Amino acid sequence: MFDTILSGDYPKSKVLNTVLLAIFFGLALGPFLFDGAVAFSTITNICIFIVLVASYDILLGYTHIVSLAHTMFYGIGAYAVAIAMNSMGPSWGSMFVGVIGGVLVAAVIALLVGLLSLRVKALFFALVTLAVAVGFGILISKFYAITGGEQGLGFRPPRELGPGFKLFEERWYGFNALGWLWNLVTDPGNLGENTKQAVFDVRMSGRIVLYYVIFLTTVGLFLLMLRMMNSPFGRVLKAVRENEFRAEALGYRTVMFRTINVVIAGAIAALAGAMAAMSDPWVTPDSYLSLGVMVNILLMCVIGGMGTLYGAMVGATIFILAETYLKDFMEVAYDLTAGFFNALPEWLSWLSFIHELISPDRWYFWMGLLFVLSVYFFPAGVVGQFRAKELESQIADSEEGASRTEPA
């Protein structure tokens, strides 16, 4: 059964299996496992970015197409939903119009970009897409009558997906497992009290419905992409990546395959954008179209592991958790070291910029560093690293086995 669901493409590492299962169940039961608004938006974001990064991975990882316009498609999806909901009112109909419209527009633009520039080399494609994406951002800012300009565009989601809607009247309970475990370690004597504290109320509002819509879409799209990349189509893409000339000589129209891939990736990114807009109904150029978002996608894709799709899952989770919680840790470290840096003598005061680097606002510096280091030392990302380990141990096992059965 798993063969069918995962299209025969297993994570191929025990540790990785555990990590992925943890992510999956963490997201599936998320609203009942983590308490609070921050945690809720974090798990929503993780779902959305898994789709977005996975759709980027089928470009970058499977085909080595460096597109820097992925945020454009993401933004198209978001803006399409926002514009449709704004002009047609908060109903399911307008939501579907927005989603479908966004996907179609994204696909058409992806086709144009692909046809215009895929014939040229990888670098050129990166540059052209970057220019087109920035231009699109400018366009969005200029046409403020439709898009709200720099300010962004707000809308009301359908009632059933809003916080005002009640799915069930009765109370549901969640269990703050992490907090419970933490207290179990720090204060094991107080088990009863601790357990009582860990239980929290879950309001079965439209937000929960929305979350599960997003979660199920994420699962569906992820499995779809897995299926696609393990189909003959995906294999041709890999062939194009490894040796385009040879793939062409074998009779595959490589430009067509690459263009189709760009179109599919663009359409899926638009879906991710639509989901993001639904979860936070305020669409701004800054949060959807800026170069920063693009770089984040790149970071997630590379850190997780290119060309594996599971890497998108791991990368998005690591990155968004870091984005949300690394700052807290850095804040603690910043405050802890404040005494030391303040006590520095006058002639060493220039060292305080090191202190500044630990400040929570500079978390991006460490992400950049991690990114560069991971490109050098783990080019296959977290997933690739685990797989390599597993392979090593398997080889070691089989060698051991072989030496044991060998007659002396």
Q: Which stretch binds another protein (CB under 8 A): 148-156, 308-316, 369-377, 388-396?
A: 369-377
Give the DSSP H/E element, type plus range, for residue 29: none
For the CB of residue 98, give the shortest distance to another protein in the complex, in Å.
Answer: 25
Q: Examine residue 64 and tell whether it contacts another protein (CB under 8 A).
A: yes
- Out of 376, 403, 404, 405, the only residue in the binding site for another protein (CB under 8 A) is 376
In the complex with another protein, which residue's Cβ is closer, 375 or 391?
Answer: 375
- Show the beta-strand stretches assigned E in 235-357: 282-283
- Out of 332, 351, 375, 396, the only residue in the binding site for another protein (CB under 8 A) is 375
Spatial contact of 274 and 98, defined as CB atoms under 8 Å apart: yes
User: Hey, which residues between 257 and 316 contact another protein (CB under 8 A)?
Assistant: 291, 295, 298, 302
- The two structure tokens encoding residue 77: 């999806």
Q: What is the DSSP letter of 205?
A: B
Spatial contact of 167 and 208, defined as CB atoms under 8 Å apart: yes
Q: Examine residue 369 and tell whether it contacts another protein (CB under 8 A).
A: yes
The CA distance from 213 to 322, in Å, is: 25
Q: Examine residue 404 and tell whether it contacts another protein (CB under 8 A).
A: no
For the CB of residue 132, give the shortest distance to another protein in the complex, in Å.
Answer: 7
Cα angle 53, 157, 212; round to 5: 50
- Out of 14, 142, 235, 246, the only residue in the binding site for another protein (CB under 8 A) is 142
In the complex with another protein, which residue's Cβ is closer, 113 or 314?
Answer: 113
Residue 154: strand pairing partners: 282
Q: How far is CA 377 from CA 37, 56, 261, 372, 384, in A?
A: 37, 22, 29, 9, 11
Q: What is the DSSP letter of 172?
A: E
Residue 174: strand pairing partners: 200
Spatial contact of 248 and 332, defined as CB atoms under 8 Å apart: no
For the CB of residue 283, give the shortest distance to another protein in the complex, in Å.
Answer: 21
- Out of 32, 165, 233, 364, the only residue in the binding site for another protein (CB under 8 A) is 364
- The two structure tokens encoding residue 104: 């179609």
Q: Examine residue 124 and tell whether it contacts another protein (CB under 8 A).
A: yes
For the CB of residue 105, give the shortest distance to another protein in the complex, in Å.
Answer: 18
What is the contact surface with another protein in residues (CB under 8 A)? 60, 64, 66, 116-117, 119-124, 126-128, 130-132, 134-135, 138-139, 142, 291, 295, 298, 302, 353, 356-357, 359, 361-362, 364-365, 367-369, 371-372, 375-376, 379
